Structure 1
Amino acid sequence: MKQYKVCLTIAGSDPSGGAGIQADIKTVTLLGCYAQAVPTCLTVQNTLGVQRSIPIDAELVFDQAAVTMEDCMPQCVKIGIVPNLAIAHAIAELLRKFKPKFCIFDPVLISSSGLSFVDNETYEFMLEELMPLCQLITPNLPEARHLAQLSDATADELAQYLYNKLKGTPVMVKGGHLPGSPTDYLFDGALHKFQSERLNSHNTHGTGCVLSSAIASYKAQGLELKDAIAQAKQFLFNAIKQGANYKHGNGCGPLYLVP
């Protein structure tokens, strides 16, 4: 009997569909894998920004993921918003108990509209306990600077610094916030550079979610980490390029995530 390549996303819910578990499910499905999803929080948001974020009960987060993993263990796990310390503990317990082969953590710390998702105690636990249990961390440049408490460090410096701080967990710092060609830096013991063309599009809501869930999907299909990242970046590029032709909502619209 054939078996699906399965990706489980543990992340926030975006009712507008552009980011969070909704974007993760679309991405995983488009890339030929089977998507499972556990929400960590409910948000009130649309293309104009995030208005509120309401955490799910931590025990419910754990139980949903645990019962899913006991029945059908995913090849890859993607983590998005971790809104409080209790949920961070629950996810760490899940990773210790089930030991998925690959877990990617896209640490959504602050929304593009400026809403902070986690407090300092949760930051510290994620750095000390949760992130070292993962196989890849993908902060953007502002998030990496916040995690490292290095306000002027470059993306490549931050990737190496956080790799060392996390006791050898590979880190890819995304440089899309900088002018010029978007360049991401992966440090996994050596430094790797991923550069792409900058596209002129107002529709970029959910780019981090899409990239991380695409990496998870390619890893689930057996690709090596660098190859999975390269393929995921190409998928993201195409989704931004195609989505640029659409008008959706009155703010920052979504990527093209339709068949």
Structure 2
Amino acid sequence: MRPPVALSIAGTDPSGGAGIHADLKTFTALGVYGTTVITALVAQNTHGVSRVYGIDEDFVADQLAAVFDDLPVDAAKTGMLGTRGLVELISAELRTRRPGRLVVDPVMVAASGHRLLDADAVDAVRTELMPLADVITPNLPEAALLLGDDVPAARTPEQMRAQARELLARGARAVLLKGGHLDSGELVDILAQGTDSGPEFLEFTHPRKDTPHTHGTGCTLAAAVTAGLAAARRADPAEPLGEHLPGVVETALDYLGRAIASGADWELALDPEGSHGPVDHLVDIGIAGGRGTASTGTGNRPPEGAASTPSTAAPRAAEPAADQEASA
């Protein structure tokens, strides 16, 4: 017997809300054994990023070897990668070592405006990493940048569908496009999957939660999807991705909504002015103990080619104008 194993390839967050710290908490909360490969040491907190210290490519390669040579990775996720060299190295390693499933969270810019991915690395994400992904999880600005330097971010669910369709055409097997930047009364996330008959879309809607505490939400959602895929892969390695992905996404969105709601009134920062605090990753466990379980869920999938079915996920907070996701 062994638990599902998930790997996070990302940067650090000493304040504990984003990056590998958020990922490990999420993996634990959802009953998955977590492992990490650190790509950057990031000096950040709930107020923003002050400095990024890159990790040598050779040492990142050594970390990848340490994990893959010893442990069966049921699912992996990439977050902050930083440089073109690291994107190319990690893409080559994942192409060779291939985890059971791969989630790509294309982290690019922190809320403070600090770039977390070099400009010349974006093309490598498009051409080297994205085609390896089972799921990519961009927000609206990230999706636009993946499609081209001059592409505007989607402003409506219809535009989101069009951009998700184009991202599928660029090589991703599935796209979870996060709509937190939409100027609407509710949040909309769209899951697009490629099928033999064309793209299939599933729309999840959530009431907005009025809270500034959204630090690490992108990391947390991608980690929750990774945990669900790891659990599904461990349970049945032969099951096609499309059979369990909608349920995995629905469960991940519900977990994130409850984590945001639970941490919405936290007062962690010494100076609350301008602070974007973390979510409560242990909402299902509690500080005193207990355990949570990753679920592949059942989803609300429409027939192939159909429109979409609204989700009943818990309320979520809107993403800040520039994501407070930092080193996802």
Q: Give your verdict on TM over 0.5.
A: yes
Matched, 1:129 2:109: no
Structure 1 outlier segments of 4+, above 4 Å:
none
Structure 2 match to 1:195:
205
Greater Cα shift, 194-203 or 12-21: 194-203
Number of equivalenced pairs: 257
CA distance in 1, matches of 2:179, 2:85: 30
Residue 69 of structure 2 aligns to a residue whose secondary structure is helix
The alpha-carbon deviation at position 152 of structure 1 amounts to: 4.8
CA distance in 2, matches of 1:244, 1:14: 20
Q: Greater share of helix residues, 1 or 2?
A: 1
Aligned residue among 238, 241, 248 for 2:258: 238
Structure 1 match to 2:174:
170
Structure 2 match to 1:78:
77
Gaps of 5+ in 2: 195-199, 234-243, 287-328
Q: For 1:105-124, what aligned pairs fall within 5 Å after superposition?
A: 105-124=104-123
Structure 1 match to 2:164:
159
Matched, 1:186 2:186: no
CA distance in 2, matches of 1:152, 1:202: 22
The alpha-carbon deviation at position 90 of structure 1 amounts to: 1.6
CA contact (8 A) 2:143 2:153 kept: no
The alpha-carbon deviation at position 121 of structure 1 amounts to: 2.2
Q: Which amino acid aligns with 2:278?
A: P
Q: Which has the higher contact order (CA 8 A, sep 6+)?
A: 2
CA contact (8 A) 2:141 2:153 kept: no
CA contact (8 A) 1:59 1:90 kept: no
Q: For 1:1-259, what aligned pairs fall within 5 Å after superposition?
A: 2-149=1-148, 150-153=151-154, 154-166=159-171, 168-179=172-183, 180-189=185-194, 190-222=200-232, 224-249=244-269, 250=272, 251-258=275-282, 259=286
CA distance in 2, matches of 1:187, 1:99: 23
The structure whose Rg is larger is: 2
> TM-score, structure 2 length as denominator?
0.76
Residue 169 of structure 2 aligns to a residue whose secondary structure is helix
Residue 93 of structure 2 aligns to a residue whose secondary structure is helix
> TM-score, structure 1 length as denominator?
0.96
Q: Which amino acid aligns with 2:193?
A: D
Residue 77 of structure 1 aligns to a residue whose secondary structure is strand
1:38-90, CA deviations, whole angstroms, 9 ceiling, x for partnerless residues?
A: 11111111110011112111111111012211111210001000100111122
The alpha-carbon deviation at position 171 of structure 1 amounts to: 1.4
Gaps of 5+ in 1: none
CA contact (8 A) 2:100 2:230 kept: no
CA distance in 1, matches of 2:7, 2:268: 28
CA distance in 2, matches of 1:194, 1:228: 13
Q: Which amino acid aligns with 1:175?
A: G
Residue 233 of structure 1 aligns to a residue whose secondary structure is helix
